[in-house]
Amino acid sequence: MKLLILLALFGLTTAAVYQHQLIRVESRKSRMIKEGTWEAYKLTKSGTQSLNDFDDAEYLANITVGTPPQSFLIQLDTGSSDFWIPDSSCTDGFACRHAFDANESSTYVQNGKSWIIRYGDGSYSEGIVGEDTVRFGSPDDEALVVPNSAIGQATKVYSGIGPDAADGILGLAFPSIDEEKSDPILFNAFKQGLLDKPIFTVYLQERGPKKNVPGGFITYGGLDTEHCSPDVDYVDLTSATYYQFKMDSVSLGTTKFSDGWQVISDTGTTMIYAPEEISRQLTIAAGAKADGSIDCNASFDDLKLTIGGKEYSVPAKQLILDEGGDNGCQFGIRPSGDSDWILGDAWMRSYCNVFGFKDQNIGFAKIIA
């Protein structure tokens, strides 16, 4: 009877716009620099920066799964499509400290599919797929609630560098790269008529070297009219996998490049990643050292990016990342290991990003608050 009542209530749900607060936490990299273990870890990384790289993720969000709700802190990632959290059968110590117990949820349905996801740093997760109700927010929030959502229940979570702040990852990209072979949750929500529009807006706040503080919002089903200008410049995606599009040129002071590249806008990456030679020359132009360290009070020109014939400026201050304490600052551009770019949080703190998952486009708007 309880399940029938819940389904009836969901049937009355109308399309709407929902806002999901993000929490800024200390990144794993920042933590390792302070502990003196980062240099050793760098030697074990692959040469190519993974699009799913969550080592530097700093903006996390609360969700709940099941009925009654079980709470998790997850990374919302536009660079992947799968949603996974640790399952109660997972025994991998701290990595599975907050686990989903399907037996405690009256709305859980077993799926039976299996999956495995491997990341660029050698870590991986694997498990089975289930279906349940997912709420974007804490139990008391007026939040987007999506029944019958695919959930990756991780039975194994392997990472060679210890615990991360997030319990799992919720991908916001396209079904074509979904290893669980299910509709990503936002696609499912739109199909169920829960969203006004097939878009979501990412607004990230600049908070400096702080952790566990409010850090911005993701708005599902519409534009964030509180923090973002209504004037949005859209460009078509070149691939409906990640949110990939064309960038025409880039410059920092007199250092300029206009070769044209494929670019990905990725909430799962803190810095901006560029082709190796371009990264090296931009590092020199900013006055940073070869290892990426930079004076916290350094002064250099803003980074200029031309996309769709329009020039966008990333303020120099967004490219000076304060690691906190005695660890100094890092320059916010790194080599990607290939010929393409990844625009991470340093870019998203400069412009609101509007992701169109039906029309397969992405838009940029000025931050107004």
Catalytic (active-site) positions: 77, 266
Residue 228: what are its φ and ψ, rounded to 5°? -125, 145
Q: Look at residues 157, 163, 100 and name the one whose alpha carbon lies nearest to residue 132.
A: 100
For strand 168-171 and strand 70-77, is the pairing parallel, antiparallel, or unpaired? parallel
Q: Look at residues 189, 196, 86 and name the one whose alpha carbon lies nearest to residue 134.
A: 189
Distance, in Å, from the CA atom of 10 to the CA atom of 32, rounded to the nearest integer, reads 44
Q: Look at residues 253, 115, 136, 281 and name the one whose alpha carbon lies nearest to residue 194.
A: 136
Structure tokens at 331: 């320059």
Respond yes or no on whether the N-terminal peptide bond of residue 198 is cis (omega within 30° of 0).
no
The amino acid sitting at 129 is: V
> For the chain, what's the residue count?
369
Look up residue 9 and give its DSSP letter.
Answer: H
How far, CA to CA in Å, does 134 sit from each of 65, 232, 364? 5, 30, 28
Distance, in Å, from the CA atom of 47 to the CA atom of 257, rounded to the nearest integer, reads 23
User: What is the three-class DSSP state of 83?
Assistant: strand
Contacts of residue 232, defined as CB under 8 A and 6 or more positions apart, other chains included, come to 223, 354, 363, 364, 365
CA atoms within 13 A on the CB side of 222: 14
The amino acid sitting at 179 is: E
Distance, in Å, from the CA atom of 10 to the CA atom of 116, rounded to the nearest integer, reads 31
Structure tokens at 93: 């110590």
How far, CA to CA in Å, does 311 sit from each of 8, 101, 274, 314, 364? 49, 49, 18, 10, 11
Structure tokens at 35: 């502990």
CA atoms within 13 A on the CB side of 327: 20
